[in-house]
Amino acid sequence: DIQMTQSPSTLSASVGDRVTITCRASQSLSTWLAWYQQKPGKAPTLLIYKTSGLESGVPSRFSGSVSGTEFTLTISSLQPDDVATYYCHQYNNYPWTFGQGTRVEIK
Amino acid sequence: EVQLVESGGGVVRPGGSLRLSCGASGFIFDDYGMTWVRQAPGKGLEWVSDINWSGSNTHYADSVKGRFTISRDNAKNSLYLEMNSLRAEDTALYHCAKGQTYFSNWGQGILVTVSS
C-alpha cells in the first residue's frame, strides 16, 4: 500500500498568512493526488484534484503543487473560513489512501 | 445540485449485519463510479470500497474484503454497502462519494456503531 505522510498534524497561523501543508508519498503517484477540506461536523469537500487542478467554486487562494513525491497544498492568504482539517488522497494505486490530516487553526 | 443521502446505519452487535444505502440526485448517476469512505470517531478518512458505473468492477480495502459487498441500482440512482460479520473496528461514519478516483461530492454520512 502507498503510505501518505502528511505534515504538520496541526497548524496555527494568523489571518493573511501563507500556509503550506505537505504530503509525502511512499512511492511515485505521478500526479494522481487530491486535497479535501473538512470543516467540523461536515462532510469533506474537494479542493484540488490531479495535484493542481482547482475544483470549481474553490477560492483561488488554494493551490497545489508537487516536487517528486512531495505534494503541497498552499493557502496564499489564510482566512477565518479556512479553519478545517485538510486531507491528501492518492489515487494512483489501490487501495486508495489518505494522509492523516492537518488541522488548521487561526492564531 | 448534487445530493447524496445515506441511510441504513445504526447500532449492531459484533458479528451482525447492516445494509447501507445512498440515494443520489442532481447528476447522471450511471455516468459515474461511486465510492464508500468511512471515518471512525475522531479519526481520519479511510477508503472502503468503490464500484464502476455499470457495477461490473469493484474494489475493496483489505480490512473489509470478504465481509462487505458494494452494489448499485442505476434505475433507482442508488448505491449500497452490504456489511456482514461486523466488528468493533467498523464503527464509523460512512460517507458515499461521487467518483471512483477523486471524490467531487460527498454525502453527510451515516453512523454505524458496532457494540455489544
Min Cα separation B90/chain A (Å): 17
pLDDT tens digits along B58-74: 999 999 999 999 999 99
What pLDDT does residue A51 have?
A: 98
Q: Calculate ∠ Cα B107-B80-B72, nearest 5°.
A: 105
What pLDDT does residue A18 have?
A: 98
| Residue A23 binned pLDDT confidence (cut-offs 50, 70, 90) | very high
Beta-carbon separation of B102 and A89 below 8 A: yes
Contacts of A55 in chain B (CB under 8 A): 104
Cross-chain CB nearest to B95 (options A43, A46, A101): A43
Strands A45-49 and A53-54: antiparallel
Query: Which stretches of chain B score pLDDT less than 50?
Result: none
Min Cα separation B58/chain A (Å): 11
Other C-beta atoms lying within 10 Å of the C-beta of residue A81: 9
**Scanning the structure block, which residue is given the C-alpha cell 462487505?**
B68
pLDDT tens digits along B41-54: 999 999 999 999 99
Contacts of B106 in chain A (CB under 8 A): 43-45
Contacts of B95 in chain A (CB under 8 A): 43-44
What pLDDT does residue A57 have?
A: 97
What pLDDT does residue B16 have?
A: 98
What pLDDT does residue B48 have?
A: 98
| Residue A4 binned pLDDT confidence (cut-offs 50, 70, 90) | very high
DSSP string across A20-83: EEEEEESS--TT-EEEEEE-TTS--EEEEETTTEEPTT--TTEEEEEETTEEEEEESS--GGG-
What pLDDT does residue A36 have?
A: 98
What pLDDT does residue A93 have?
A: 97
| Residue A92 binned pLDDT confidence (cut-offs 50, 70, 90) | very high
pLDDT tens digits along A64-81: 999 999 999 999 999 999
Closest alpha carbon to A51 in A76, A70, A26, A78:
A70
Beta-carbon separation of B102 and A95 below 8 A: no
The residue-averaged pLDDT of A57-63 equals 98
Cross-chain CB nearest to A95 (options B61, B104, B109): B61
Spatial neighbors of B96 by CB under 8 A, at least 6 apart, are B4, B6, B20, B22, B24, B34, B35, B36, B79, B106, B107
Question: Rounded to whole angstroms, how far apart are CA atoms A57 and A55?
Answer: 6
Handedness of CA A45, A47, A49, A55 (dihedral sign): positive
pLDDT tens digits along A27-40: 999 999 999 999 99
What pLDDT does residue A47 have?
A: 98
